[in-house]
C-alpha cells in the first residue's frame, strides 16, 4: 500500500513536471500538482474523520489505497471491541445473576472500605439502598464497635457475629475476604437459627448441670458414709471406692459446666478488681508441690510484681486449669514451669511443660467444649474436656487471648496474653 501511494505521488509530480516543460513556468505546474495531491488527501482525511464521528449512522467510505487499508483496520478493531464488550456485558450479567442467587450477602469494598457494589441479599440483611449507599464507608452504615475493630484488624479467618441495631432478633456473621489491590469482599450470612440452637444448647447444659448437682451431692454423701462405716463387708470396699471416684469426677464435670455456662452467659467485660497475681501463683505453686502424683520439678518464675485488674475467681480458674493440664500430661521425671512477666504491651502468664505434646492438627480445636486430643487418656486422668474452654472465655472477658505452642513428644507452652490496660502496676497497687 505504501509503495502504491508513493508511486501515485511520483506520478502526479511527474505529470506536473511534464506540463511545466510544455507550458512554462515549471514551478507553477509542480506546485499545482502537489496542491491537488494534498487537497485529495485532506478530503480523504475529512471523510475518515466524519465517518469516525458518526460511525453508528454512516457506512465506511469507499476509499482506495492507504486510506482504504486504514479504514479496514479500524473496522476490524471496532468489531473486535464490540465482541469483547458484548462478552464482558454477558459475563457481568451472569455474575450479577449468580451473586443474586447466593444465600449470603456480598459487598465489594474499595481500599478505603467504601461500598463499590452489593447484591440483593446484602441489601436485605443490612438495609443497604442502591444507589444512595454506593460510595459510602461500610463502617458508617454498620455502627458496631466490634465490627469497626474487626474491619481495621488483620485476622479475618474467623467470622464476626453481630446483631444489627434495627433487627433485635437477627444475628449476622460477617467475614472480610481481601483480594486485589487493597479491595475486599464482605460476606454477610444470617446465622440466627444457629445462634438460637446454640443458646438452647447452653441453656440445656446449664439447667441439666444445676439439676445434677443435688443428686450427685446426696450420692457422694452416702458413699462417703459407707466408705467410713467399719461394719461394711470388705468385699464392697473396692466397688464403693470406685463409685466415690466416679462421683467425684461427675462433680468436677458439673462444676466445670456451671463455670463455663456462667462465663458464656455473662455480658460485657470482667470487673476491675485489683488481683495480686504473684501471691496467687505462689499459692498455686505450693498446692502443686503438695500433690503426690506430680512431676519431679514444678518451678515458678516471677519476673515482675505487677498484678491485674479483673475478676480474681476467673483468673485463678484459668491459671489453675492450665497448671493442672501441665501436671497431668507430664511424666514423673519431667518439668512444669510457670512464668509471669510483663512489658509495655501487656502481661503474660505461661505454663511450660516437657510432657507428651500435642499434634499440630489438634491445636486449633483445643478450646472447644469436650474436645480431647486423646479421649481415652483424658478420661483415665479424669479430664472433662472443659478446662481450656473455661480458660478461653475467662481471658476474653479480660480482653486477652490464649496462645498454644506444642511439639509432639517434647512438650507444650500455653501463654495467656493480657492487654496493657489490665495491668495493675506495683506502684498503683501500693498506693491503693
Model pTM above 0.85: no
Please state whether 357 falls in left (phi above 0), alpha (psi between -120 and 50) or beta. left
Over residues 208-231, the pLDDT tens digits come to 777 777 888 888 888 888 888 787
Q: For residue 301, what pLDDT band results from cuts at 50, 70 and 90?
A: very high
Q: What is the pLDDT of residue 379?
A: 39
The secondary structure element, H or E, covering residue 413 is strand 411-419
Residue 329 DSSP code: T
Report the percent of the chain where pLDDT is more than 90: 21
Q: What is the pLDDT of residue 319?
A: 94
3-class secondary structure per residue, 372-409: CCCHHHHHHHCCCCCHHHHHHHHHHHCCCEEEEEEECC
Quick check: helix, strand or coil at residue 169?
A: coil
- Does the pLDDT value for residue 262 go beyond 80? no
Mean pLDDT score of the chain = 83
Mean pLDDT of 252-276: 79
Is the separation of the CB atoms in 366 and 358 below 8 Å? yes
Most confident of 61-65, 80-84, 96-100, 207-211: 80-84
Q: What is the pLDDT of residue 416?
A: 95
Report CA 198 to chain centroid distance, whole Å.
21
Report the percent of the chain where pLDDT is more than 70: 94
What is the layout of strands, in order, in the sheet containing 273-275?
A: 273-275, 307-310, 423-424
Q: What is the pLDDT of residue 166?
A: 61
Mean pLDDT of 386-391: 86
What span, in angstroms and rounded, lies between the C-alpha atoms of 41 and 49?
12
Is the separation of the CB atoms in 188 and 128 below 8 Å? no
- Does the pLDDT value for residue 382 go beyond 60? no
Mean pLDDT of 35-58: 82
- Does the pLDDT value for residue 57 go beyond 70? yes
Amino acid at each position: 500500500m505504501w509503495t502504491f501511494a508513493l508511486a501515485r505521488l511520483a506520478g502526479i509530480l511527474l505529470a506536473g513536471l511534464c506540463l511545466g516543460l510544455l507550458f512554462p513556468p515549471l514551478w507553477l505546474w509542480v506546485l499545482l500538482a502537489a496542491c491537488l495531491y494534498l487537497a485529495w488527501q485532506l478530503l480523504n482525511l475529512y471523510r475518515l474523520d466524519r465517518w469516525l464521528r458518526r460511525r453508528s449512522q454512516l457506512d465506511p467510505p469507499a476509499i482506495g489505497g492507504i486510506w482504504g487499508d486504514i479504514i479496514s483496520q479500524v473496522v476490524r478493531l471496532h468489531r473486535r471491541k464490540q465482541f469483547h464488550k458484548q462478552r464482558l456485558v454477558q459475563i457481568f450479567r451472569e455474575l450479577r445473576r449468580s451473586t443474586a442467587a447466593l444465600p449470603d450477602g456480598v459487598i465489594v469494598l474499595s481500599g478505603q472500605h467504601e461500598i463499590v457494589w452489593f447484591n440483593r441479599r446484602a441489601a436485605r440483611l443490612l438495609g443497604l439502598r442502591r444507589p444512595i449507599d454506593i460510595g459510602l464507608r461500610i463502617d458508617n452504615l454498620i455502627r458496631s464497635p466490634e465490627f469497626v475493630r474487626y474491619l481495621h484488624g488483620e485476622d479475618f479467618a474467623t467470622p464476626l457475629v453481630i446483631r444489627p441495631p434495627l433487627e433485635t432478633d437477627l444475628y449476622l456473621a460477617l467475614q472480610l475476604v481481601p483480594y486485589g489491590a487493597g479491595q475486599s469482599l464482605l460476606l454477610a450470612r444470617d446465622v440466627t437459627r444457629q445462634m438460637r440452637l446454640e443458646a438452647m444448647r447452653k441453656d440445656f447444659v446449664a439447667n441439666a448441670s444445676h439439676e445434677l448437682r443435688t443428686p450427685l451431692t446426696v450420692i457422694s454423701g452416702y458413699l462417703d458414709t459407707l466408705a467410713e462405716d467399719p461394719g461394711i463387708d470388705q468385699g464392697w470396699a473396692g466397688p464403693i471406692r470406685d463409685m466415690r471416684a466416679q462421683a467425684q469426677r461427675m462433680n468436677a464435670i458439673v462444676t466445670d459446666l456451671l463455670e463455663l455456662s456462667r462465663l458464656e452467659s455473662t455480658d460485657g467485660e470482667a470487673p476491675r478488681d485489683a488481683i495480686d497475681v504473684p501471691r496467687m501463683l505462689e499459692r498455686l505453686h505450693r498446692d502443686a508441690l503438695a500433690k503426690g502424683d506430680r512431676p519431679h520439678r514444678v518451678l515458678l518464675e516471677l519476673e515482675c510484681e505487677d498484678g491485674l485488674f479483673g475478676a480474681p475467681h476467673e483468673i485463678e480458674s484459668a491459671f489453675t486449669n492450665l497448671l493442672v493440664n501441665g501436671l497431668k500430661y507430664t511424666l514423673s521425671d519431667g518439668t512444669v514451669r510457670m512464668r509471669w512477666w510483663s512489658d509495655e504491651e501487656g502481661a503474660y502468664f505461661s505454663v511450660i511443660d516437657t510432657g507428651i505434646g500435642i499434634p499440630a492438627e489438634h491445636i486449633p480445636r483445643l478450646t472447644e467444649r469436650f474436645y480431647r486430643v486423646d479421649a481415652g487418656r483424658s478420661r483415665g486422668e479424669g479430664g472433662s474436656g472443659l478446662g481450656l474452654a473455661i480458660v478461653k472465655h475467662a481471658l476474653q472477658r479480660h480482653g486477652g487471648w490464649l496462645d498454644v505452642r506444642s511439639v509432639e513428644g517434647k512438650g507444650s507452652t500455653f501463654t495467656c496474653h493480657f492487654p496493657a490496660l489490665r495491668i495493675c502496676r506495683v506502684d498503683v497497687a501500693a498506693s491503693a
